[in-house]
Homo-oligomer: A and B are copies of this chain.
């Protein structure tokens, strides 16, 4: 059965990318080996590592003042790596905007090492909007925010104003929209939404911001160590980096991030328009703060929501159940979700609405 996978991550990969990985699974580039079994010190893998890095730089317009690092452990591990690397001293100040579950976790984890100040939070309305007024402490070492909130379906439609180094989690919007990297000291993303399979985390960090990690920082979490070793300090997640490279090639072929962004705006627009004009479905997020990647919606009746999720799965629209913190449904529509997937979902929603009047 043709399936559209609305999972929040890991999530759909481009068919072209999967096809190439499958084709070359036994014998990559005439090496006689699968990338899953190839030494990370071999020439073919070093070429993969270098090309993936170069493509990130090209597609995201990242200049030489930044490192692009491939690490492990997911964004969650970065919640701790960030203070361990960027704080001037243990107990120094770090400011956070708390706009969802992962933003909240990032702030909580940092408390282990930092004097954390929550400059703003949207918890009062179950994270259905992005706070617009806040002030960061001038003497904080950095300010952190989550660019797109996967669970609650919100997105910063403008980069926060800050006089201190800005750090952002772009796990769920990397490569989906143009981001001005130069506004940031550090950007990071788990791969499993818009880049490739899980197990890879990308960290883009200003070279002059690293090299001074806290003495208690584990070596494996040190950005400088990873930078000094071109992300090959120890064995990297080779197959995930390889599939990321294939995805990046494909994004380039599609016209780059700008072209993909236009496509994403159109895709999300179709779905929001349908929801806004529907009598049954509601999206609770403030309109100006809506995510283009994660579209939560409810029927207003929990039993009906459950029925929706079950019947949708039977119709091939899978992993559409909302996160337990938000309830209802959530359609995650990352780069690789084709417009046909959105249209099929809308047709299903129409049918379900008629059948459940």
Interface of chain A residues 21 through 61 with chain B (CB within 8 A): 21-22, 25-26, 31-34, 36-42
- Minimum CB distance partner of A76 in chain B: B234
Question: Is there an interface contact between A235 and B39, defined as CB atoms closer than 8 Å?
Answer: no
Inter-chain CA distance A8–B197, complex, in Å, is 24
Say yes or no for A224: interface residue by CB 8 A criterion.
no
A10-18, A154-162, A263-271, A289-297 - interface stretch? A10-18
Question: Is there an interface contact between A77 and B220, defined as CB atoms closer than 8 Å?
Answer: yes
Chain A contact residues (Cβ within 8 angstroms of B): what range? 35 or more
Inter-chain CA distance A8–B235, complex, in Å, is 11
A114-122, A129-137, A141-149, A238-246 - interface stretch? A238-246
A174-182, A211-219, A272-280, A303-311 - interface stretch? A211-219
- Minimum CB distance partner of A24 in chain B: B22
Chain B contacts of A319 at CB under 8 A?
A: 39, 41-42
Scoring A8, A25, A239 by chain B CB atoms within 10 A of each residue's CB, the highest score goes to: A239
Chain B's nearest CB lies how many Å from the CB of A13? 5
Chain B contacts of A77 at CB under 8 A?
A: 72-73, 218, 220, 234
Q: Which of B11, B113, B190, B238 contacts A39, CB < 8 Å?
A: B11
Say yes or no for A9: interface residue by CB 8 A criterion.
yes
Inter-chain CA distance A41–B190, complex, in Å, is 16
Chain B contacts of A353 at CB under 8 A?
A: none
Question: Is there an interface contact between A37 and B21, defined as CB atoms closer than 8 Å?
Answer: no
Interface of chain A residues 218 through 238 with chain B (CB within 8 A): 218-221, 233-238
Question: Is there an interface contact between A32 and B1, defined as CB atoms closer than 8 Å?
Answer: yes
Say yes or no for A165: interface residue by CB 8 A criterion.
no
Chain B's nearest CB lies how many Å from the CB of A222? 11
Inter-chain CA distance A220–B221, complex, in Å, is 11
Question: Is there an interface contact between B39 and A7, defined as CB atoms closer than 8 Å?
Answer: yes
Give the secondary structure class of A's interface: loop
Chain B contacts of A21 at CB under 8 A?
A: 25, 36
Say yes or no for A5: interface residue by CB 8 A criterion.
yes
Question: Is there an interface contact between A34 and B13, defined as CB atoms closer than 8 Å?
Answer: yes
Chain B contacts of A32 at CB under 8 A?
A: 1-3, 5, 316, 318
Say yes or no for A67: interface residue by CB 8 A criterion.
no
Chain B contacts of A336 at CB under 8 A?
A: 37
Chain B contacts of A128 at CB under 8 A?
A: none
Scoring A26, A79, A234 by chain B CB atoms within 10 A of each residue's CB, the highest score goes to: A234
Given the interface contacts A3-B31, A72-B199, does A37 sit within 8 Å of B11 by beta carbon?
yes
Say yes or no for A92: interface residue by CB 8 A criterion.
no
Say yes or no for A109: interface residue by CB 8 A criterion.
yes
Inter-chain CA distance A156–B233, complex, in Å, is 26
Interface string of A66-110 (1 = CB under 8 A from B): 000000111111011100100000000000000000000000010
5 contacts between A and B (CB under 8 A): A9-B235, A112-B218, A198-B235, A198-B239, A218-B218
